[in-house]
Structure formats: C-alpha cells, structure tokens
Amino acid sequence: MQLMKSSYTELTARGHVTDLLKPDETLEMLETYGFAVTQSPSVTVSTADAHREMAAIRSDFGLGEPYVPLLYRDRDEPIVTEVTRKGGSDHPVFHTGEAQGWHTDGLLEDIGTIKTTLLYCVSPAHRGGSTFLLNAGRVFDELRAEDPEAADVLLQDTILGRRSTIPGVDREALGPVFLELASGHYATRYGEGRVERWYPRDAAEQHALDRALRFFRARRDDPDVRIDLLLRAGQCLIFRNDVLAHGRENFTDDPRHPRLLLRSLHTNAPKKTS
C-alpha cells in the first residue's frame, strides 16, 4: 500500500469509480488510496442484486464471510446490515438521517481488527448522505514529524475509550489511536464524535493530546487527505477500515424511495485471489 504518500486531490480530477467486472483495477485503487468504488453493470439494482454483487466482491478479494462486531453479538442483527432511516429504532447511527462524525467501524474491537468495510448503495438519499474518508495514517505521520510528543500520546494503549451509545448497552473498549504496523503503515481507531472518552494520565499528556486533536481538526478537511463520496445506486464503496477514518453527511429522504445502503465488515484485507 502506498497510502502514506497518496493524494486524494488527483483522484477528484481523475475519477475513482471502477468496473465491478475488473477486480485488478479495483485492487490497485485499494492499494494506492485505501478505497475503491465499484459500479454495477446493471442500470437499476434491487436489494437482491446488491447482496449478489457484495458476495461477488467478497469472493473476488478474499474477504471471507462478513464479521459480526462484538457490540452486536447478543442482538439480533443480520450480518449484512441495512443502513436506512427507521422510525422507532434505538440504533444511534444506522437508522437515522443524522450526520456521523469521524470514526472507524468496530467500536469494541481491538485496533486493526476490522480491515475492510463494504457499503453498497441500493438507493441514495433525496439530498445529502455523502460518505467521507480520511487518510488518517498520513496525517498521523505528519504529526509525528511536527510534534512527536503529541503523536506519542496517540500511540498509548489506554488513551482512547470508545463507549457504546446504544441505550442499555453499557460497554467501553480501551486502546491506542494509532498502532505502527510492520508494513510502515499505521492502523487507526481515530474518531471524534459521541463515543470517544480520552484518558490522558497527567496534565502534560492532556496538553499533548489537545495539540494532537487540534492538529487533526486542522488537517482533516484538506482535500489531499480527505475525499467525499456520494454513492449512486449500484455503487459499492470498499475501504480499508483499519487505516482510514470515515464519517457521513446528514441526509433527507424521499419517503417513497428512502436511502438504503448495505454494510458488511470483514477481518481480511482485500487481496488478489486469481
């Protein structure tokens, strides 16, 4: 993966959607940018088509069966989740049209566990609903060069707790924000939203943490490290959940055609299978 040197600015001009039937192109995109978007050959897609195409993607890239996150093990959740607005749901994210701040999937999992997320768009929102991606490792590398003390705090293994916001589910998992991998890349669980709890051990760490988070806030809107994608019907976003952070813009639905995305999580990274 050349991700640490990649610039998203060039992609915005060049385009980033690949043909579902050309896995090599998609894999190259994934290795260079940490994500790819495939386009279905069909003009219109049903939910059944989406499931079939997601199965083809899992098989093409050796992703294996979808992984059920720890948070949902005792709930009756399907392994491919429907992300759509639903009245009466207690889920704080899946079933609302609200914006969702920066995060990585797998609230309770150890850093780097969920390596790949698939998000298949069956039907887009009437307005809004973009997904944004952040090359978090590249920003962290910049922070390391500029303020090593601030970067070190993010490597500490008890600095970040992520707490469930599902009513009645009182669980929290501690871990680092970044972990250096043998490949020279960083795994991440960077986020700034409603689930994060920060645990600096003293005032000096608190200051260093404040600087680190400020650095991320200042960098994360730069189009070189961030890209916003509005998925169309029949497009599937494949991204490296272990190295990119992501979030979602709010959206409004046309009640006759509500936004519907299917999501699955995988502990394998995409790889060549043929």
- Positions that interact with Fe ion (CB under 5 A): 105
Q: Look up residue 29 and give its two tokens.
A: 């995109």
Nearer to Fe ion, 61 or 239 (CB): 239
How far apart are CB 89 and Fe ion at their closest, in Å? 16
Mode of pairing for the β-strands spanning 35-39 and 17-19: parallel
Provide Rg for the chain, Cα atoms.
18
Nearer to Fe ion, 153 or 245 (CB): 245
How far apart are CB 246 and Fe ion at their closest, in Å? 6
How far apart are CB 117 and Fe ion at their closest, in Å? 7
Residue number of the CB atom closest to Fe ion:
105
The residues near 3 (Cβ < 8 Å, ≥ 6 apart) are 31, 32, 33, 34, 135, 137, 138, 185, 240, 243
Handedness of CA 44, 48, 49, 53 (dihedral sign): positive
Q: Where are the beta strands (DSSP E) in 107-255?
A: 116-123, 127-128, 131-134, 160-163, 172-175, 178-180, 186-188, 196-198, 226-229, 235-240, 245-248, 251-252
Nearer to Fe ion, 79 or 204 (CB): 79
How far apart are CB 248 and Fe ion at their closest, in Å? 7
Nearer to Fe ion, 69 or 200 (CB): 69
Nearer to Fe ion, 105 or 196 (CB): 105
How far apart are CB 120 and Fe ion at their closest, in Å? 14
